[in-house]
Amino acid sequence: IPSFEHEKIEKKWQDKWYSKDYFKAIDFSDKPKYYSLVEFPYPSGMGMHIGHIRAYLSLEVISRKRRMEGYNVLFPIGFDAFGLPTENYAIKTQIHPRKITDQNIETFKNQLKSAGISFDFSRVVDTTDPEYYKWTQWIFLKMFENGLVFKDKTYVNYCPSCQVVLSNEESQGGKCDRCDTQVTQMEKDVWFLKITNYANDLLEGLKDLESNERIKTEQERWIGKSVGANLHFPIKDSDRSLEVFTTRPDTIYGATFMVIAPEHPYIEVYKDRIKNMDEVIAYQEQAKMKTEFERVELVKDKTGVKLEGLVAINPISKEEIPIFISDYVMITYGTGAIMAVPAHDTRDYDFAKKYDLKILEVIQGGNIEEEAFTDTETGVLVNSPLIDGLSVKEAKEKILDIIEKEKIGNKAIQFKMKDWAFNRQRYWGEPIPIIYCDQCGIVPVPYEDLPVTLPYVEKFSPSSTGESPLASIDDYVQCTCPKCQGKARRETDTMPQWAGSSWYFLRYMDPFNQEEFASMDKLKYWGQVDWYNGGMEHVTRHLIYSRFWNQFLNSIGLVPNKEPYKKRTAQGLILGSDNEKMSKSRGNVVNPMEIIDEYGADTLRTFVLFLSDYEMSTPWNDDGVKGARRFLDKIWRMFPKVTDQMDYSKALERDIHLTIKGFSEDVENLKFNTAIAKLMELVNLFNKEEEITRADYQSLLKLLYPIAPHIAEELWQMLGHDDLLVFESFPEYDERKLVKDQIELVLSVNGKVRDKLTVENNLDKESLEKIALDSDKIQAYIEGKTVVKVIVVPNKLVNIVIK
Ligand code: ANZ
Ligand code: ZN
């Protein structure tokens, strides 16, 4: 036979698959449905990256396998195309982002097809298409209608380099997600989505998510639930009290001073009583310069200013205690004020040492001369008349009862997560559908006027005033108020990159619906995403956002499931061969198209899956590319050895069953490297045989198909099949055939031999009994009778006594 000419053969199968829509998902099919989802790409000008291939291959393999297992598979793809890279490229080249996006999407689609990924290309969505973002705006308005959207002038994360407001999720670790620049705090008019209303639901929903621990704990930490209490500390000679949030009400006797955030409103309230206001104001200015990240860092050298003239009263010990401002207390968390317990909190300890404040031990067990004693398991309460002698846990319960009875405070829960800063001062995003009217104030665009389309402009650079480029387009800005018909202005900011991706998995279920974002019938048919694979970096970003949007839509009855995803996994990164993250600037980016050209898509797929454990990051190393190709060539070249026999070869039978079992289990657990290793071993065994049967070879091709589908289809056709492998069923293994040492088991009824079976050596009595009772022949004898006794002689016989 001719050699495996990948250019010709792969092209042939791709043309066939994609022109005939072989991977089309069928709405309302009778087959069981399976929805596999991969994170859709940002169609950058660089085209497909090796990381995209790795990310998609997991569910590509699963989807191809599921189709063979009889499922109606939805495996869609689309493009998350709004955002800065395209806009920046447009600014640089003066080509319109629309044009760039269309070109990039075309390139991407072709590249995905030349890798042979079995996406349903009939459902492609593009978040920048007005037919799509109309619904992104629509959902935003629904949130507005339900009180989940508000505007606030406040300090937010700002990237000086990208010149945009960032959400908390986009500035983790104090750095801009996009460009790694240190973020600053900037006072801005900001639209927020009240994602915090869903904090508890987002946490609870994790219980049902099938995923590894890391995916859950990262989300849990990000949501950051703390259980504690809000307590009121009266301010001396005043009607007001200072409210604090604490997770340690048990330490209240040890609260020897208070600290409020530099932005705390009481500074303004008491400005006439505070004697050192100059010093306070100077400190406030200084605190503004720091980012939140710098402020929460555990630095020993704490700073602060005492509020002279203002004194608080500990509501339990009745002691008078001083009040400080310090930047280690955040205005955005809890109540923006704390009761400081230096003996048992490290930050308070450092602060007390620096300003020489009273440190009172209330939990015995440590050495507070040296450091704060923060352990909550072993200590015992002291210096705390109402709760002395109790453990921390007991003390918490008792003091909370007292606190609630005496109306000093109440139990409270806090979340670390913050509301989602939602507007960006940029052109290439979804316009925020809001109108400002001098008479009516903030007016949402009526639903029937959607979409608010982005005007096609010539200039899309941000303006020097920090406003969106849309602000300078009069035709766009000037509008009439939908309420009073008076003159009004449009909001000129756009939505963040994460908006469109917050609901795209729903649109895939009904991508061309003009009346709704998706019909309830289709949402119900496809249900939850059965398996979602994506990047670990999205776990505390997109995953949280999209779960929030889905939960919201569920709460207003528009989607059937509260949680969008049943199962979530994440691939590891492919690093450069220098072990650094691949990037254009490092010049270590691997272009998968080059490998496809030289060795073929099947080789690329096999190689990338074989590279290492799928969930681990791994450096690129293309030494193995040739090996992957050799493996495929071996399978190709053994074709002439195939006989017409329709049973497995005796010599190979057990290995084939073992491989089917091991391969399937590995694939389902994302262990593609070991799955492929098993196929390689099997191929080596095949190679040693003079002949292999048709049955042997067919099972091998079926196993190979999800990994290297082009060569598998070609060889399948060469065997004389008219139908594609897509329609074949996945091979099954027989548990009994896995057994190595076998014995003959005699089955008798009332002492008369009725059946003989070959079974595994050394099975236990229960298994042997079960095998005997399951035998068809035995059943015929015992039907309608009573089994009095079963006598098992291991490795020999089972005798069933009936009456
Ligand atoms: C008294 C106390 C005693 C505290 C003690 C801790 C240990 P998490 O677990 O992160 O929720 N806190 C409260 N609001 C704060 C704010 N806005 N900025 C900085 N710190 C704040 O931490 C809750 C604890 O962090 C609270 O409990 C409070 O200090 C502090 F032995 O109150 B604690
Ligand atoms: Zn930036």
Taking the C-alpha atoms of residue 625 and residue 613, their distance in angstroms, rounded to an integer, is: 17
Query: Whose structure tokens read 């069981």?
Result: 32
Q: Find out whether the beta carbon of 797 lies less than 6 Å from any atom of ligand 1.
A: no
Cβ–Cβ < 8 Å for 77, 40: yes
Taking the C-alpha atoms of residue 649 and residue 694, their distance in angstroms, rounded to an integer, is: 9
Region 294-320: what's the mean pLDDT?
A: 91
Query: Whose structure tokens read 């319109």?
Result: 96
Cβ–Cβ < 8 Å for 139, 503: yes
- The mean predicted confidence, pLDDT, of the chain is 94
**Ligand number with the minimum distance to the CA of 292:** 1
Q: Find out whether the beta carbon of 341 lies less than 6 Å from any atom of ligand 1.
A: yes
Region 650-663: what's the mean pLDDT?
A: 95
Cβ–Cβ < 8 Å for 253, 318: no
- For residue range 252-267, list pLDDT tens digits in order: 999 999 999 999 999 9
Cβ–Cβ < 8 Å for 700, 682: yes
Residue 372 Cα: closest atom of ligand 1: 31
Read off the tokens for 243.
Answer: 């409210």
Q: Find out whether the beta carbon of 334 lies less than 6 Å from any atom of ligand 1.
A: yes
> pLDDT category, 464, cuts 50, 70, 90?
low
Amino acid letter, 50:
I
Read off the tokens for 272.
Answer: 């006439």
Three-point CA angle 746, 749, 753, nearest 5°: 40
Three-point CA angle 81, 86, 87, nearest 5°: 115
DSSP conformational letter for 453: P
* 584 is an annotated ligand-binding site residue: yes
Q: What confidence score (pLDDT) does residue 463 get?
A: 65
Q: What confidence score (pLDDT) does residue 527 get?
A: 98
Q: Find out whether the beta carbon of 245 lies less than 6 Å from any atom of ligand 1.
A: yes
Cβ–Cβ < 8 Å for 197, 156: no
Region 419-434: what's the mean pLDDT?
A: 94
Q: Find out whether the beta carbon of 332 lies less than 6 Å from any atom of ligand 1.
A: no
**Ligand number with the minimum distance to the CA of 246:** 1
Most confident region among 194-203, 326-335, 465-474 by mean pLDDT: 194-203
Asked if residue 575 has pLDDT above 80, the reply is yes
Cβ–Cβ < 8 Å for 528, 566: yes
Region 651-659: what's the mean pLDDT?
A: 94
Read off the tokens for 562.
Answer: 């509260």
Q: What confidence score (pLDDT) does residue 140 get?
A: 98
Taking the C-alpha atoms of residue 16 and residue 118, their distance in angstroms, rounded to an integer, is: 12
- Describe the chain by its helix, strand, coil percentages, rounded to 5: 40, 20, 40
Cβ–Cβ < 8 Å for 501, 463: no
SS3 state at 311: strand
Q: What confidence score (pLDDT) does residue 93 get?
A: 87
DSSP conformational letter for 144: H
Region 52-74: what's the mean pLDDT?
A: 97
Select from 257, 258, 338, 393 the residue to mutate for testing ligand 1; criterion: most ligand atoms less than 8 Å from CB: 338
> pLDDT category, 244, cuts 50, 70, 90?
very high
SS3 state at 356: coil
> pLDDT category, 393, cuts 50, 70, 90?
very high
775 Cα to the center of ligand 2, angstroms: 70
Read off the tokens for 566.
Answer: 């049943």
Q: What confidence score (pLDDT) does residue 299 get?
A: 75
**Ligand number with the minimum distance to the CA of 163:** 2
Pairing of strands 742-749, 618-619: unpaired
Q: What confidence score (pLDDT) does residue 600 get?
A: 98
541 Cα to the center of ligand 2, angstroms: 16
**DSSP codes joined into one string, 324-348:** EE-TTS-TTSTTSEEEE-TTT-HHH
Read off the tokens for 308.
Answer: 């002279």
Amino acid letter, 323:
I
Query: Whose structure tokens read 């189709």?
Result: 67
Higher pLDDT, 592 or 458: 592
Cβ–Cβ < 8 Å for 42, 81: yes
- Residue having the nearest C-alpha atom to atom 8 of ligand 1: 226
Asked if residue 472 has pLDDT above 70, the reply is yes
DSSP conformational letter for 155: E
> Crossing angle of helices 694-704/709-718, nearest 10°?
160
> pLDDT category, 45, cuts 50, 70, 90?
confident
In the chain the domains, ranked by start, together with CATH numbers, are 225-415 (3.90.740.10), 592-735 (1.10.730.10), 739-802 (3.10.20.590)
Q: What is the largest CA-CA distance in the chain?
A: 106
Q: Can you give 370-413 as a three-state secondary structure string?
A: CCCCCCCCCCEECCCCCCCCCEHHHHHHHHHHHHHHCCCEEEEE
ipTM score: 0.98
Region 568-592: what's the mean pLDDT?
A: 88
Region 76-102: what's the mean pLDDT?
A: 90
Asked if residue 388 has pLDDT above 90, the reply is yes
Asked if residue 298 has pLDDT above 70, the reply is no
